[in-house]
Structure 1
């Protein structure tokens, strides 16, 4: 896989993890999906309107996570544009999206278990996540740039997705 495709593939994988963070309870309304999607789209539009031009739209399920937005992108969560847009769009922030910040001790522990699981499933150079940084950063995984690297990483992430969800669930 070309290295220019790595960030997009990683973004898709992290969004898939984030999508697993929602409740498994049945929807009380048939429009919950549409409502989540609409909220996430409005938040993305607000972020772009307020200076974060590369802020992506949510996926078809409405999933939008901080890891998914930042991983592999050139968006700087410590920059003035991000801070200004975050403040302006705070009331539109969809549930499940978390601002830059540290994981709780329980979440960080799950993140470390997630990293170990990924290593056990074939990605030997997968680093432990740094607290306050994205859970998955393909720029820190040299094997992701190899011809089969992203395929192996994707398969490992599928095997370890429950631990990944625990690491980002409720992070606010």
Structure 2
């Protein structure tokens, strides 16, 4: 399964009622991000987007290129109301130690499959941040990353689900 197909499948799984919880009984990361987005819209930030195709949601991804204003009263009220739903990588929400283990295993797999400069994600960063992978700016860099992500798809799924 290609990573793109995996990402689409994970996003769809994160939205379905049958995949609301991971094996730990907690909402999966994808489901949590979808729930957080809905909460933000319900609390007045009408243009707040759903997670991207990888199932991740970051403050940079939400604000870059959008008309959303994090200084607006509606944004501040919604962030306060939805803070317990914030996914890892968003403002103030960090992965737990348990959630970080599969994220680190995924990063190692990517390095083992040829992307030597793939960084370990920090507890508060997205699983994949191409801004932190210099080789993706070189010729063939994105192809190498996509090939590695195809090989590490199962670990990506586990990292996104936090198990």
Normalization by structure 1: what TM-score?
0.56
Residue 64 of structure 2 is aligned to residue 85 of structure 1:
no
Paired residues in the alignment total 136
**Cα deviation 1:119-167 (Å, max 9, x = unaligned):** 1111110001111111111110000111211111111112112212222
Task: After TM superposition, give the deviation of residue 104 of structure 1 in Å.
Answer: 2.0
Residue 157 of structure 2 is aligned to residue 165 of structure 1:
yes
**Cα deviation 1:18-61 (Å, max 9, x = unaligned):** 4386499979xxxxxxxx9xx77x8298289528x6x44557x9
Return the alpha-carbon distance in structure 1 between the equivalents of residues 17 and 78 of structure 2.
32
Classify 1:134/1:109 alpha carbon distance in 2 versus 1 (closer, same or farther; 3 Å). same
Return the alpha-carbon distance in structure 1 between the equivalents of residues 123 and 146 of structure 2.
22
The answer for unaligned runs of 5 or more in structure 2 is 20-30
Residue 122 of structure 2 is aligned to residue 130 of structure 1:
yes
Classify 1:102/1:143 alpha carbon distance in 2 versus 1 (closer, same or farther; 3 Å). same
Q: Work out which of the residue numbers 81, 86, 96 in structure 2 matches 1:104.
A: 96
CA RMSD, aligned part only? Answer: 4.4
The answer for unaligned runs of 5 or more in structure 1 is 1-11, 28-35
Higher relative contact order (CA 8 A, sep 6+): 1
Return the alpha-carbon distance in structure 2 between the equivalents of residues 43 and 126 of structure 1.
32
Report if aligned partners of 2:51, 2:57 keep a CA contact under 8 Å in 1: no
Normalization by structure 2: what TM-score?
0.58
